[in-house]
Structure 1
Amino acid sequence: MTTSVRAKVRIPLRFADGYAVEAEAVTFHGLTDGLEHLALRLGEPAEVPLVRLHSECLTGDVFGSARCDCGPQLREAVERIAAAGGYLLYLRQEGRGIGLYNKLDAYALQDGGLDTYAANTALGLPEDGRDYRPAAEMLAALEVETVDLLSNNPDKAEQLLAYGIGVRERIPTGVFASNANIRYLQAKVEQAGHRIVLPGRPALAS
């Protein structure tokens, strides 16, 4: 079944710091995983739009958890995409694809000393179980062939390319480091090649 646009609706977005912007939410028919992923159209997308694939993080996006950098990345991405014109794809892939309860179980193991990837493995789960085929399907349904990708994660670009979406440029997000998430961020650099330069630490990924 070919993926197609299901509906579009305007949503005024308001963030806790006062930033506000109008978005157009787009839903889809025919996504291969059957999940309710959402595209937010922000600004006026150019021929090559700025795009972020943002995996759902209830704890960070909604409750402001400082254990990760997801909430600040989401807030930053909305403003940057609105300025440049493009799409934020909000993907229902909680916990790098392992689900909310499993993510919280992994947090408990992290409290015992494991990093975020080792904790997933200890639970018998993939370090990163995300498949970005639905994101590529969403972009194709939006008639987007090539993107500037707002991401520090090389896997996102590699998967989009494998699924037929061109990546003209990979643009890093800001670095939102704190005492609560520094081990988490360092693990993303060392284990998954994220392009992050942490305060007081050398760059380990290009």
Structure 2
Amino acid sequence: MSTSHVSSSLLPTPYGTFDMHGFVDSEMGKEHLVLSMGVLNDGATVLTRLHSECLTGDALFSLRCDCGSQLQEALKRIAKEGRGVVLYLRQEGRGIGLLNKIKAYNLQDQGADTVEANQRLGFDADLRHYDMTKDMLDHLGIKEVILMTNNPKKIKALTDLGIVVTQRQAIEVGENSHNTDYLATKASKLDHLFGQ
């Protein structure tokens, strides 16, 4: 097992009190989190979001993306359900890292779209992977999920890992005048599903 559980604690939030579980991926040297609520290991399907870290959107309230809004919406839905998980994965900027993300933003300021900016920096459009999620979900006893996502690659990744995705829940929130082009690029170049 390359991703192992380290410790857990309570995390009170504006949406309710979650259990926070810390994991370390020994292969990649990354630390990841799960925020969970309710009983998860009873065999029933679990409302789930795979959320890649976005410091600018999640913590600094950036309007350039929809990440922070998606994270908040996922936590709200889980709190309403009383049961579910957010896997918070440390792969900033679709895997290019924070400082390269700032460089990509600079290129976007000059007219590049989000995919072109990554490519001009020498990166693929999306370097994220989801292998670590299998160990995290196994630790929590989760075998079947309802996945909150607009990204079909996340569904395929979990399915390839042996996790059953019984349903996709769209999570279309956070659109504003600053991210309209960004969202359009996610749909046209990264195959994200909007309005479906």
1:50-86: CA deviation from partner (whole Å, max 9, x where unpaired)? 0000111111111100000111111111010122211
Name the counterpart of 1:40: 35
Structure-1 separation of matches of 2:175 and 2:158: 27
Report which structure shows greater RCO (CA 8 Å, sep ≥6): 2
Name the counterpart of 1:193: 191
Structure-1 separation of matches of 2:145 and 2:108: 35
| Percent identity of paired positions between Structure 1 and Structure 2 | 44
Name the counterpart of 2:121: 123
1:13-52: CA deviation from partner (whole Å, max 9, x where unpaired)? 13xxxxx310000123555423110000124446110000
Name the counterpart of 1:22: 17
Q: Which of 78, 85, 91 is the aligned partner of 2:89? A: 91
Unaligned runs of 5+ in 2: none
* Closer/same/farther in 2, CA of residues 3 and 71 from structure 1, 3 Å limit: closer
Task: Specify the code of the residue in structure 1 equivalent to 2:164.
Answer: G
**Aligned-pair distance for 1:4?**
4.2
Name the counterpart of 2:110: 112
Structure-2 separation of matches of 1:40 and 1:163: 21
Unaligned runs of 5+ in 1: 15-19, 198-205
User: Relative to structure 2, which stretch is displaced further, 174-183 or 49-58?
Assistant: 174-183
- Secondary structure of 2:173's match? coil
TM-score normalised according to structure 1 size: 0.88
Q: Is the 8 A contact 2:5 2:21 kept in 1?
A: yes
Name the counterpart of 1:59: 56
User: Relative to structure 2, which stretch is displaced further, 31-40 or 61-70?
Assistant: 31-40
Structure-1 separation of matches of 2:25 and 2:182: 35
User: Relative to structure 2, which stretch is displaced further, 44-53 or 95-104?
Assistant: 44-53
Name the counterpart of 1:50: 47
Structure-1 separation of matches of 2:2 and 2:109: 44
**Aligned-pair distance for 1:3?**
4.3
* Closer/same/farther in 2, CA of residues 82 and 44 from structure 1, 3 Å limit: farther
TM-score normalised according to structure 2 size: 0.92
